[in-house]
Amino acid sequence: MALETTTMSEQTAPATKGVTSELLATMDLGPEIAGMAGRQLRMRKFTFAPGAVFGPVHDHKDRPGMVYILQGTITDHRDGVAKDYGPGPGWLEDRTTKHWLENRGTLPAVEISVDIVRKETE
C-alpha cells in the first residue's frame, strides 16, 4: 500500500549512498521476441540500508521496469510527491518516470527490480 507525502524538489535529490545491488538473472530477448535484438530482461536485488538514497534523479526512458518490495519500506520521490511502498507491490517505471528513492526507516529495505535494458548496460 502506497502512502503519499510531499517531498523536496527533485532537483535537490541527494547522490546515491547506502545501496547495494546484486544481479540475479538476465535473459537475451532477441531470440525470444521479434524486434528485441540487443535487449535483455534483467532482474536485480537492491538492499537499502537505513537512510540510504538511490539518486540523484534518474529516468527510465527506453528502460521500462517494475519493482517488488521484499522487506522494509522504500520511498519513491517523483513529481513533487513521495510515496512509501512495502512490503509488497512497488511501482512501475515507464518512459515518463523521473524519480529518486530512499529508505527513511530504521531497518534495511530490500527490493527486486525487473527491467528491459540494452545488452551493453550489463
Q: pLDDT, tens digit, for every residue of 21-68?
A: 999 999 999 999 999 999 999 999 999 999 999 988 999 999 999 999
**Structurally, how many domains does the chain consist of?**
1
pLDDT grade for 13, boundaries at 50, 70 and 90: confident
Q: What domain range includes position 72?
A: 3-121
pLDDT of residue 2: 52
Q: pLDDT, tens digit, for every residue of 62-97?
A: 999 999 999 999 999 999 999 999 999 999 999 999
Indicate the pairing of strand 98-102 with strand 74-78: antiparallel
User: Are 46 and 19 in contact, with CB atoms under 8 Å apart?
Assistant: yes
Q: CATH number of the domain at 113, please.
A: 2.60.120.10
Environment class of 9 (CB within 10 Å of its CB; exposed 0-12, middle 13-18, buried 19+)? exposed
> In this predicted model, which residue has the larger pLDDT, 50 or 7?
50
